[in-house]
Amino acid sequence: MKKLVLLVSALLITVVSFAQEKQKRDLKFNKKTNLIEVVYYHDNGEISQTGFYTLDGKLQGEWLSFNTDGEKEISGYYDNGIKVGKWFYYTNETVKEVDYNDNTIAGLKESNLDLSE
């Protein structure tokens, strides 16, 4: 139990060091997945980012980023700290789809968003 508390404490310090600026955040440990769920907030209270960390501080699973109006800007996946699969970058009326293979860009597509829906 002491070891788990030390690991979680170390992770919290790591999480703080990853934040680009001092942001408000919520952390919650999930015993089933052994991951720490984190939610960062903009100064106006809107969610900035959501995602997961492993106990050793690596990004894991789905991460989402939002602008200060709460609109999604980025969605993608990490596997043990490495970008994998399709990432989507939303800008105004376009979406860029970037395929990552082992943290390296393997492909890129750009398309217009259909705003009539």
- Sorted by where each begins, the domain ranges of the chain are 2-112
Is this structure's pTM higher than 0.85? no
Token look-up 């440990």 returns 29
Low-confidence ranges of the chain (pLDDT < 50): 1-21
Strands (E) located in 21-81: 24-30, 35-41, 47-53, 59-66, 72-79
pLDDT of residue 49: 97
By the 8 A CB rule, do 68 and 45 touch? no
pLDDT of residue 115: 54
pLDDT of residue 22: 59
By the 8 A CB rule, do 37 and 30 touch? yes
Structure tokens, 83: 């970008």
The backbone torsions φ and ψ at residue 102, rounded to the nearest 5 degrees and listed phi first, read 55, 50
pLDDT of residue 19: 46
pLDDT of residue 62: 96
By the 8 A CB rule, do 100 and 76 touch? yes
pLDDT of residue 103: 87
2-112: CATH number = 2.20.110
